[in-house]
């Protein structure tokens, strides 16, 4: 076994690189989203840092090809990964204070959080090659073998992180575990160098992994911090208008769901606009909700339509568990929940609905592009009954560059639906981003915008009556610059 110690170290460090990258996305996504720009920034920074590590590792190995220096690389890689836990909130919140575009925020945060450890992890491969090469005749095969082992480790790390580690363990515990593993590898590589320090640090991080509550030091008092397979989630108990509410956040700066504790009533004004479905189609029997989150509106729907059924497509089973625990979601024979991507659900469903509600977001200002395209809208159209309608929550301006996404969506919906209207939830400046409710009708008959119901009539008065210039192209699966439009809206 001793003969293959170096190969084991290379394999494990290769796995850690990929786990670190995937965990990194979980660390920064609550602050900057999960868009193409964010992933590009994260991957670019880590690849750049690894490249620098390959260069520096090769230089150091040519001068100091000794196990104690190799041990030092592993040791400091462990330290910087461990420090990520203690600095992530400070760095992310500090960077977020600068009012800059999210893709640049992701780039800067990734540089500070992930580049130092990634440089050191990159140094491992060239250093291990130097330690293993015994003659020039076998140098090429040695290099090939070690890099193959490292790549296989990266593959193993990718699958284990995505399918097992991240879904079942919080990011903090994963980072502490990687720290302990690297400290252990450093100890194996050289027992003589800082033996007591390594043992002490391993004990410290093992203790923190099992008994620590580091995130509690950086989280608002009374806020519950948890991880799901898809999100970092915070649950907070607050008050609004003197009434207690429970709020769900997937980023620190905007709430994604909320509920009044005493009666379960809707908190956010935009969700009340979903009630307009009753005005436009009083005989709703079947409904589809895309995006469950805290299940605030599905519960409201079931109370309003006592003989109707609703299917909810929520990609994250962890969100459903949170809704059951904190948002009074209970089993109901009229409510069916599907844990899958809404686009794949639309692709395969043969069900017909009277109304489809859309409220799916990756984060506050990031939407799943595959739900915004002409093809997705066509699937919604096909899934509706003849008098059916789509009610979609969109965060966008109406006019100017900040309204490009909305205008593109209107153009996309008009490819199928004869009537498409929008409602401003809070009557804000049309050039500023806000909650916009888009309603698309399958029936060609022109709808009425007056109601005897006082509440519904209030919402109907928010109808946007001015002409909307459709200057944006239709969004398609082939060309869906949704992230670009959304960042233009910030």
Lookup: tokens for 234: 């915070």
Q: Judge contact between 350 and 265, C-beta under 8 A.
A: no
Pairing of strands 286-290, 353-358: parallel
Q: What's domain 2-218's architecture?
A: Up-down Bundle (1.20)
CB count, 10 Å around CB of 343? 22
Q: Helices marked H in 305-451 — which ranges? A: 317-326, 342-348, 374-383, 404-413
Predicted pLDDT at 484: 85
Bridge partners, residue 311, by sequence: 288, 336
**Taking the domains of the chain in order of start, what are their residue ranges?**
2-218, 269-488
Q: What is the pLDDT of residue 264?
A: 85
38 vs 60: CA distance, rounded Å: 33
Residues near 477 by Cβ (< 8 Å), separated by ≥ 6?
Answer: 370, 373, 374, 375, 376
Q: What is the rounded distance in angstroms from the CA atom of residue 161 to the CA atom of residue 153?
A: 12
pLDDT by 10s per residue, the chain, length 490: 456 899 999 999 999 999 999 999 888 877 777 777 788 899 999 999 999 999 999 999 999 889 999 999 999 999 999 999 888 888 887 887 776 766 688 899 999 999 999 999 999 999 999 998 865 666 888 889 999 999 999 999 999 998 888 878 878 889 999 999 999 999 999 877 778 888 888 888 888 887 765 555 445 556 788 888 888 888 999 999 999 999 998 876 678 999 999 888 999 999 999 999 999 999 999 999 999 999 999 999 999 999 999 999 999 999 999 999 999 999 999 999 999 999 999 999 999 999 999 999 877 667 889 999 999 999 999 999 999 999 999 999 999 999 999 999 999 999 999 999 999 999 889 999 999 999 999 999 999 999 999 999 999 999 999 999 999 999 999 999 988 888 777 7
pLDDT computed for residue 1 by the predictor = 43
Q: What is the DSSP code string of 147-197?
A: HHHHHHHHHHHHHHIIIIIHHHS-HHHHHHHHHHHHHHHHHHH-SSTTHHH
Asked whether the beta carbons of 175 and 85 are under 8 A apart, the reply is: yes
Task: State the pLDDT at residue 485.
Answer: 87
* Burial of residue 104, with CB atoms counted within 10 A of its CB: 0-12 exposed, 13-18 middle, 19 or more buried: middle
pLDDT at 218: 45
Provide the β-strand partners of residue 366: 363
Phi, psi of 162 (to 5 degrees): -70, -35
Q: Report the pLDDT value the prediction gives residue 416, as an integer from 0 to 100.
A: 98
Q: What pLDDT does 217 receive? A: 45
d(CA 280, CA 277): 5
Q: How far is CA 318 from the centre of its chain?
A: 13
Q: Name the nearest CA neighbour of 161 among 59, 295, 17, 53.
A: 17
Asked if 77 contacts 178 with a C-beta cutoff of 8 angstroms, the reply is: no
Q: Please tell me the predicted confidence (pLDDT) of residue 138.
A: 66
Q: What is the distance between the alpha carbons of residues 328 and 303, in angstroms, rounded to a whole number?
A: 13
CB neighbour burial string for 418-433, b if at least 16 within 10 angstroms, e if fewer: ebbbbbbbeeeebeeb
Class of domain 269-488: alpha beta
The residues facing 225 across adjacent strands are: 234
């Amino acid at each position: 076994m001793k003969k293959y110690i170096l190969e084991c170290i290379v394999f494990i460090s290769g796995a850690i690189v990929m786990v670190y990258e995937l965990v990194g996305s979980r660390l920064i996504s609550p602050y900057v989203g999960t868009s193409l720009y964010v992933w590009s920034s994260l991957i670019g920074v880590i690849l750049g840092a690894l490249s620098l590590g390959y260069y520096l590792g090769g230089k150091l190995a040519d001068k100091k090809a000794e196990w104690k220096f190799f041990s030092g690389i592993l040791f400091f890689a462990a330290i910087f990964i461990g420090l990520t836990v203690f600095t992530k909130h400070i760095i992310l919140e500090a960077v977020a204070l600068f009012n800059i575009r999210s893709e640049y925020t992701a780039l800067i945060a990734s540089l500070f959080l992930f580049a130092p450890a990634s440089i050191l992890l990159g140094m491992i491969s060239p250093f291990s090659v130097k330690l293993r090469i015994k003659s020039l005749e076998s140098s090429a095969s040695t290099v090939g073998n070690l890099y193959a082992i490292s790549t296989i480790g990266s593959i193993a790390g990718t699958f284990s992180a995505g399918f097992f580690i991240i879904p079942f363990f919080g990011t903090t515990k994963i980072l502490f575990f990687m720290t302990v593993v690297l400290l252990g590898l450093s100890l194996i590589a050289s027992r003589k160098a800082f033996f007591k320090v390594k043992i002490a640090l391993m004990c410290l991080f093992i203790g923190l992994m099992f008994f620590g509550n580091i995130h509690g030091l950086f989280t608002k008092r009374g806020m519950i911090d948890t991880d799901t397979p898809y999100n970092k989630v915070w649950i907070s108990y607050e008050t609004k208008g003197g009434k207690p509410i429970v709020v769900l956040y997937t980023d620190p700066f905007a709430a994604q769901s909320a509920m009044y504790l005493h009666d379960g009533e809707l908190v956010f004004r935009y969700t009340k606009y979903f009630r307009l479905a009753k005005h436009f189609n009083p005989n709703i029997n079947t409904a589809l909700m895309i995006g469950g989150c805290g299940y605030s509106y599905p519960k409201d729907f079931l109370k309003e339509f006592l003989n109707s059924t609703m299917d909810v497509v929520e990609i994250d089973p962890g969100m459903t568990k949170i809704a059951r625990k904190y948002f009074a979601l209970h089993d109901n024979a009229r409510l069916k929940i599907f844990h899958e991507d809404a686009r794949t659900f639309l692709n395969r469903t043969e069900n017909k609905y009277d109304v489809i509600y859309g409220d799916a977001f990756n984060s506050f200002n990031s939407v799943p592009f595959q739900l915004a395209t002409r093809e997705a809208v066509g699937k919604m159209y096909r899934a509706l009954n003849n008098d059916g309608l789509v009610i979609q929550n969109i965060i966008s301006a109406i006019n100017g560059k900040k309204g490009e996404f909305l205008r593109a969506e209107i153009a996309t919906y008009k490819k199928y639906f004869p009537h498409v209207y929008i409602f401003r939830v809070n009557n804000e400046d049309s050039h500023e981003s806000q909650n916009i409710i888009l309603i698309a009708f399958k029936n060609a008959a022109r709808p009425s915008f007056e109601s005897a119901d006082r509440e519904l009539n209030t919402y109907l008065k928010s109808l946007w009556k001015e002409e909307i210039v459709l200057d944006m192209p239709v969004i398609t699966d082939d060309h869906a610059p949704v992230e670009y439009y959304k960042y233009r809206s910030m």
